[in-house]
Chains A and B, each alone.
Chain A
Amino acid sequence: MLNYTIRRLLFAIPTLLAISFIIFIVLDLSPGDPTGNLPLTIPPEVREQIRLSLGLGEPFPIRYLKWCQQFFINEPLNMIEQWTGWTIGSGERLRVLSWSTRSPVVDLVVERMPQTLWVVGMSQIVAVIIAVPIGVISAYKQYSIFDQIGTFISMIGFSVPTFFTGLILIVIFSVQLGWLPSVYDTTHRVTDWNSFWVQVRQMAMPTMVLALATTAQISRFMRASMLDNLNQDYVRTARAKGLRERSVVMIHVLRNSMIPVVTVIALGIPGVFGGAIITEQIFKVNGLGQLLILGIQGADIPLVQTLTFIFAVLIVMFNLIADVLYGILDPRIRYD
């Protein structure tokens, strides 16, 4: 297993380099002018100067290699310096800078990460906690009232987009009832129980909107997987051993059914870091999704390039993690 993991990690390096290059090409080809958002009074030759100062005068391969140097060498060195307090070399090196804010992209990401992780990460946790029992019961009592309702809600979760459920929740809980705030306040700090409660309330709606969609997906998956396993011969063996029905389902069937579901959950985690672009917009959560939208609108190529690449890394990593988990959960699978 260790060998396999190391081999996969080594394979990931060329894959990720190829991905970063493709992202760079696509962004370079896309229309958009980093000076487009500047006041119209700035004359064209000044604009040209600004472009040159951003490095746009260099040929394409040079720009790509410079980004590689900044991202793969300078940023990690900088991180090491920050953590350890050492100074490596002169300590002066060019980081990946956002064109529109002139601040290092990695700092922006670190600044936005907590909001995204809180809201989107919590929605994943909530979704798993709700979806697994629903899937188990729906399968065990197939075609019962519970299963029918579960199926109906799942269909809603699948088919109604988050911008619609989000607005409905705002209309009901913020506008009509006035129970929950419709705007997420990033500056809010949790210091005591009161402020914690405020945090819970402002997280409630974005979390539920995202959790609905994820719950729908995972519970259907869980149900199908349980149904596959409930009719297996080993379940009959477990019953013939005189085990309680509870043990039969919760130990024998569930353990087998969780194998594909765990991989689906693992593959969904990169999406958590990617943030929920639409939901973050609706509730004004300034997370990573919103940062990406801002970057795209401002033609802030270094920002978009870096963010997209970080997502790509996460996706590759979690694919590997899902495979390794599969091998751990299913003793029949050996990667050696």
Chain B
Amino acid sequence: MPDGARGRSEPILEVNDLKTIFRTRDGEVHAVNDVSFAVKPGELLGVVGESGSGKSVTMMSLMGLLPMPPAEIVKGEIRYDGRDVRAMSPAELRDLRGGDVGFVFQDPMTSLNPVFTVGYQIVEPLRVHLGLSKKAARVRAAELLALVGIPDATARLRDYPHQFSGGMRQRVMIAIALACDPKVLIADEPTTALDVTIQAQIIELVKDLREKLGMAIIWITHDLGVVAGIADRVMVMYGGQIVEHGPVRELFARPQHPYTRALLETVPRVDGTRDARLRSIEGQPPNLAAHPASCPFAARCGHVMDRCLRENPARRDVGAGHDVACFWDPATGGLRDAG
């Protein structure tokens, strides 16, 4: 995507101070804490973080896909194309889901309904959102299958999910997500369950589709390599917060947060020496039972300071559209004032 076209336009999806909690029997779990971000039309935002960092929950709460209760959006603002999503009626929200915002989930083996044909499952959103006739919807469904690279599309509409391979099923999922020409596609670890060659195919497909259709994409993953290859901007999440965010080249060139730096060090290098051991980040992800009053990464951080234990750092700008939620300054190795 050329940079100029994107820079000027208003964000299609904007989130401010979103906070989502789960009320469980053992108390509240603060899964998403004051998350703010925006996606512009045609942009690909990568969201990175380890399991339980709140990546998926953030995206699911945007479109009301979390079971409520136990989940609850406590505060925050979600704007789609300028409209307040939280104020929408259930019917308006349904129109948004699958209509303007498409979803692709992690496991294509279980994300399709096993007892309905693939054709039926693609036709469903077309009938609901676009009000197409049965015949027109089938024609469109075949086009979609062809678009995502499934050969002999018209015949395969009659097949059931179990008759497709994992990669093909994920293509079907993408076809469903794209059915109604969404402006935003949320892909929740779409390649995690696939083997590497299929992963590469799916990534190529999504890149290709973005060129063709020009929708914004939010790509959730824990694979930094994938993000480096496709994203325009990257958001690193930890403990339900955004700890670092910036344009992809900038963030990979100048990682600011100790967590991001540690993540980058865990990626094995092809040209690394054979005896170099794989690095890991010591310690466990934080328990999200309480609202964080300190930096969530403090317990595992190599640069932890007194201040990190007393307050939770706010995001501060470090230039070139890059911001970080950390007191530590990698340039000086010392404390840096927030704000």
Which residues of A come within 8 Å of B, CB atoms? 232-234, 236-245, 252, 255-256, 259, 329-332
Contacts and interface: CB of A to CB of B under 8 A. Distances in A.
Nearest to B163: A331
A255 B121 CA distance: 14
B96 interface: yes
A332 B103 contact: no
Given A234-B114, A241-B125, 7 more contacts: A232-B110, A239-B65, A241-B128, A242-B129, A243-B128, A331-B114, A331-B115
A237 B176 contact: yes
A252 B113 contact: yes
Contacts of A239: 65, 97
Contacts of B95: 242
Rank and list the top 7 A-B pairs by shortest CB-CB distance, nearest first: A242-B98, A240-B103, A241-B98, A242-B97, A233-B110, A234-B113, A331-B160
Contacts of A331: 114-115, 160, 162
Given A233-B110, A233-B111, A234-B111, A332 B162 contact: yes
A83 to B, nearest CB: 41
B223 to A, nearest CB: 20
Nearest to A330: B115
A332 B159 CA distance: 11
Nearest to B125: A241
A256 B94 CA distance: 23
A241 B111 contact: no
Interface of B: 63, 65, 90, 94-99, 102-103, 105, 107, 110-116, 124-125, 128-129, 160, 162, 173, 176-177, 179
B149 to A, nearest CB: 20
A237 B113 CA distance: 8
Contacts of B114: 234, 256, 330-332
Contacts of A259: 115
Contact of A244 (B94, B96, B110): B94
A236 B107 CA distance: 12
Given A233-B105, A233-B110, A241 B97 contact: yes
Contacts of A252: 113, 116
Contacts of B105: 233, 236-237, 240
Given A234-B114, A256-B115, A240 B98 contact: yes
A242 B96 contact: yes
Contacts of A236: 65, 105, 111
Contacts of A242: 94-99, 125, 128-129
B110 A234 contact: yes
26 contacts: A232-B110, A233-B110, A233-B111, A234-B111, A237-B103, A237-B113, A237-B173, A239-B65, A239-B97, A240-B98, A240-B103, A241-B97, A241-B98, A241-B124, A241-B125, A241-B128, A242-B97, A242-B125, A243-B125, A245-B90, A255-B113, A256-B114, A330-B114, A331-B114, A331-B160, A331-B162
Contacts of B116: 252, 255
A233 B176 contact: no
B113 A256 contact: yes
B65 A240 contact: yes
A245 B125 CA distance: 14
B70 to A, nearest CB: 12
B64 to A, nearest CB: 8
A236 B98 CA distance: 12
Nearest to A253: B113
B65 to A, nearest CB: 6
Contact of A233 (B97, B102, B107, B124): B107
B97 A237 contact: no
From A232, A236, A255, A259, name the one whose CB has the most chain B CB atoms within 10 angstroms: A236
Nearest to A256: B115
Contacts of B113: 234, 237-238, 252, 255-256
Nearest to A235: B113
Contacts of B90: 245
Given A252-B113, A255-B116, A241 B176 contact: yes
Given A242-B96, A242-B129, A243-B94, A237 B112 contact: yes
